[in-house]
Structure 1
Amino acid sequence: MTDTRRRTPGAGSVIHAKDGTWIIRRELERDPATGRRRRIQAKGRTKAEARERFEARVAEMERTGLLPGTKSPYLKDYAERWLEEYRMNVKPTTYRTRAGRIKACMEVIGHVRLTDLTAEHVRLCMRVLSKRLAPSTLKDHFVSLKMMLDQAELEELIPVDPCRRVRPPRVEPTETHILSPDEPRKLLEAVPNRGAKRRGPAPTADMDEMWALLFELAFAAGMREGERYALMPFQLKRRDGVPGIDVCQQQIQQYGRPGEVEIPGWLKAEHLYGVLWLTTPKTRAARRFVPIPESLWERLWARIKRLGVGPRELVFTNSRSNPVRSSTERYNWRKALRAAGLPMVNVHSARHWTASMAARANMPDDARTTIMGHASITMTNRYTHRDAASLAALLCRAIPDLHGDAGDVIDAEVVEEAA
């Protein structure tokens, strides 16, 4: 009878393969975070070579905390391994941001062993970084460190994440200023008079039209900057006779040049130009159909036909026929604001304007979140700003007149006196 019992965790085996190579294999305890079986294995032409590679892998796993050793790994070594695993689950730009935050923290407390890390080390890290970082950026550093240490706790490398015992850095919310209901029209009218410098061979009229259309899409459809930059003719559709945009691809991301950046297998990304890539929407809710006015629809198609833009080509490009960059849009946006004599609000405030106008029109919550591409009404409410006029109108309808002329009316009878 064949013995079907599995080898006990921690047991090792040395195998001399038919091709003459040697394999050293060892079963490990199940991964405490995932419950999956783990194995460490090394292969060599000789038994000594296989043994050397095996011991090097064991040492590397002990250094980064994948395998229990005589000493706990240094925080910087665990961070190195955590970032490598994190890289494959997020987009390249997200990874670069998170890696920068983690590495900044490691410069302060990376020399501490994981099991020796305390809440005071975390506080020290935040104090040191606070001297050169804005509060919101500092909080993101804290969140990044907590993400990593939460994973260490899940892997049972530490009993509890010390970040849980530290109050996060305080951040005062900044107020987003938006244009009033009638001011976007003034902005669009001022685009030809913005006085922007001409760059490249594209006619000035075409560039004026492009910026006016981009700005109008920001207000009329509430599209994100990158969603507008990535617009292609195939996305312009009619549903139930209604003209609109199928927002099915996301902003152009600066991932890096092909061969110099690692794109995760799950991420659908198409290289466009230089370091720019076309990607999918940031969330499932971000993929949506946004109705647009008929006049805007016609002007978009007029531009597409005049310039001969193909179905899978960008509707908007810069003067050198390359994808639009956010820095260029900000430059032209500010020029137009200044020419129109309007307050200096940022480009993203146009999405806030759209959400605010939708709320002002008493649009239902589910419709507002759909238009904005948000996963919940909570996020949409963060984009919604009530102006004094709309609040006054709502309050006037809700609260009756508490001190009007009706309460002062006195019934009187006219009596004619005898002469």
Structure 2
Amino acid sequence: MATRKRRTKGAGSIIHGKDGTWRFRKDLGADPATGKRRYVEAKGRTKAEARERFDAKIAELERTGLMPGAKSPHLNDYVERWLEDYRTRVKPTTYRTRAGRLHACCQVIGHVRLADLTPEHVRRCMRVLGERLAPSTLKDHFVSLKMVLDDAELEELIPVDPCRKVRPPRVEPTPVRILAPDQPRRLIAAVTDMGEARRGPVDTGDCTEMWALLFELAFAAGMREGERYALMPYELELRDGVPGIFVQQQIQAYGRPGETVIPKWLDAEHLYGTLWLTTPKTRAATRFVPISQGLWDRLWARIRRLHIGPHDLVFTTQRGTPVRESVERHHWLKALEAAGLPQVRIHSARHWMASMTARAGMPEDARISIMGHVSLQMTMHYTHRDAASLGRLMAAAIPDLHDGTEIIDVQIGDGSAVAVR
């Protein structure tokens, strides 16, 4: 009796179906990242056709690193495969930023195979990109590359991520300029002096009121840009008699339908062009922010006068489309100029609000909640102490250490005299 010849272990299975089709199947073993078993399979009407499709799939898996092969995959190929998975786990804006960072790295070292990557390749990549990028942006490129190579190490495609042996690019924090405590009032009052709109006729009364309210919300409620643009009447709530805004959505530029991938887990509704109505930045960003009675009344006066429905946008352009950051920035800069104030960024209003709550002695847990942050460290990043408030705190904390009352004159370098107790 003839013995059945067994295939070499690991070569896979060849199945000839009752319908005449051929099927090649191979067990790739457990995925190092998930522990789940992986299979590759191809089917054809003839054995040769099935084999050709099977070999093509195996070659693609080896090229992208999903399956060990004779040669390690190029960084370019592995990054593209990594991004396909990454895109399903993050928001479109996050994906777009990360993909841009990685593609820039691949322009320098993407031709190198994963197994051949060394710390010097990483250093060279940072040196080349550092010639045209700001330090903070360069560091984000390094972090992005490290994320990819960490996963390559986890998948056992490389023994160690070479980024672990490289010092990250140095970044010195850039001070954020914010307005003084009394300056936002001047900015809002100057909105009516902004003159002509960026395009078209002079701003109407409704538009002028809109910019004043948007700027006031930025300072008084510390709302992010997208949260303010997405404000709807149903978010205005009275809790225990306290007027406030229940922030629970934002507008983001994700891209045009059909041109961008919206993950299934992300709640996003297309509004106009590239703009989508979606959930806040983080879970902590869903929050109730108390506002003054005056701001509450001004918001409701606009809502009633313009007959804005509960789930309609409170702020829109003259064409009825959502407000865009570039348009608001134009009016913001014109208002700063009209008020004679320094040219600070719109987002600095959020820093101003965090700083004012600190000056008022608001407890840390309340400040974190109002700002919609996940940690005190982030809230402290937004907090800036001015000299006047520090002076008052020091005066209250440190007693006068001089017992006598004698006053003497002391000469200083320029020949003038000062009185010293």
TM-score, structure 2 as length reference:
0.91
The verdict on how the C-alpha distance between 1:31 and 1:202 changes in structure 2, with shifts beyond 3 A counting, is farther
1:15-414 equivalences in 2 (<5 Å):
15-17=15-17, 20-197=20-197, 199=199, 204-250=204-250, 252-403=251-402
Q: What is the Cα-based RMSD across aligned positions, in Å?
A: 2.0
Partner SS for 1:285 = helix
Q: Which moved more, 1:314-323 or 1:19-28?
A: 19-28
Letter in 2 for 1:379: M
Give CA deviations for 1:22-53 in whole Å, capped at 9, x if unaligned.
33221111111111111111223333322221
1:93 CA displacement: 1.5
Partner SS for 2:284 = coil
Conserved 8 A contact 1:257-1:275: yes
Conserved 8 A contact 1:236-1:243: yes
Name the CA distance, whole Å, in 2 between partners of 1:305 and 1:47.
73
Name the CA distance, whole Å, in 1 between partners of 2:21 and 2:357.
69
1:198 CA displacement: 6.2
Conserved 8 A contact 2:196-2:202: no
Name the CA distance, whole Å, in 1 between partners of 2:207 and 2:297.
18
State the match for 2:411 in structure 1.
Answer: none
Give CA deviations for 1:277-311 in whole Å, capped at 9, x if unaligned.
11111111111111111111111111111111111
Letter in 2 for 1:65: G
1:202 CA displacement: 9.0
Give CA deviations for 1:61-80 in whole Å, capped at 9, x if unaligned.
00011100011111111111
Partner SS for 2:245 = strand
Name the CA distance, whole Å, in 2 between partners of 1:43 and 1:296.
67
Letter in 2 for 1:279: T
1:407 CA displacement: 9.8
1:12 CA displacement: 2.1
1:196 CA displacement: 3.6
Size of the aligned set, in residue pairs, is: 401
Kindly, what percent of the aligned residue pairs are identical? 72
Name the CA distance, whole Å, in 1 between partners of 2:305 and 2:95.
40
The verdict on how the C-alpha distance between 1:287 and 1:20 changes in structure 2, with shifts beyond 3 A counting, is farther
State the match for 1:3 in structure 2.
Answer: none
Letter in 1 for 2:362: M
Give CA deviations for 1:177-229 in whole Å, capped at 9, x if unaligned.
11111111111111001224264589611011000000000011000011000
Letter in 1 for 2:347: H
Name the CA distance, whole Å, in 2 between partners of 1:363 and 1:16.
74
State the match for 1:414 in structure 2.
Answer: none
Name the CA distance, whole Å, in 2 between partners of 1:393 and 1:125.
49
Conserved 8 A contact 2:197-2:203: no
Partner SS for 2:399 = coil
Name the CA distance, whole Å, in 2 between partners of 1:126 and 1:392.
43
Conserved 8 A contact 1:201-1:319: no
Conserved 8 A contact 1:64-1:77: yes
Name the CA distance, whole Å, in 1 between partners of 2:183 and 2:403.
35
TM-score, structure 1 as length reference:
0.92
Conserved 8 A contact 2:195-2:203: no
Partner SS for 1:28 = strand
The verdict on how the C-alpha distance between 1:406 and 1:323 changes in structure 2, with shifts beyond 3 A counting, is same
Letter in 2 for 1:48: A
Conserved 8 A contact 2:93-2:253: yes
Partner SS for 2:27 = strand
Conserved 8 A contact 2:238-2:244: yes
Partner SS for 1:24 = strand
Name the CA distance, whole Å, in 2 between partners of 1:182 and 1:25.
72
